[in-house]
Structure 1
Amino acid sequence: MKTVLVVDDEMDIAEAVKSILEDEGYRVVTCANGREAIDCLKDARPDLAIIDVMMPVMNGFETIQAIRGMEEFASLPVLIMSAIDPSVRPPDYDWAGFLKKPFSLERLLEQVQKLAPLAA
């Protein structure tokens, strides 16, 4: 079973994404901010992280930077979700996909299945 880490301070969004992905067969771990996400990485061992950009405590860019600094998670695929334009990407921040909020169920599933495909 593939594990997806969902990081968003808007718990309604995090819980909705969790429910959708669990219905598809993923194991989902949610965190309310980047610091929580970093703390739970070793236990969760995600195959994909979906991270909001605008969060308190540690924003999405800072979270990606911290993840990339951890050797065992340096190549973890990250899917960014935000209402901001992805062209504002700071240099040296690597992510595999972008979901513009609000996003459709189809777009979410398309991105997740591309980055963390479930075995057929």
Structure 2
Amino acid sequence: MIESWVINDDSPVPVSSAGVVEALRSRIDSGQLETWLTSSSGRLLAFVTNAERAMVVLLEGEGGPGEHAVDPGAAGSSDGFVLSNGQGDEYPDEDTVPIREAFRLVEHIVGTGSWPADARWVVDR
């Protein structure tokens, strides 16, 4: 069975890989910079952005081990990552990716259940 994904605080209807980027853009446009998706197998996909860069995290389950996309060699840090509870975070740029890359990663994960072969990510254990 292929995994299906839903946006946690939206409709319980699964989002397709073809529609997930549009859904993320719509949420960003409305000021929602943090989005969590849950798969039919219980995995979680987090997308937090400042509209220029994004942190993309894939977790095996709530509280479980995960992995996140990285941009090796990126210098500096970026702020403006506003969580749904209002907290503003700053992350090293090497732990986030440009937003276009983040969209590509999320689209691929929703469509296939895994990182693209050329993606760079690290295990958070």
Assess same fold via TM > 0.5. no
Higher helix share: 1
Normalising to structure 1: TM-score of the pair? 0.30
Q: Highest CA radius of gyration, 1 or 2?
A: 2
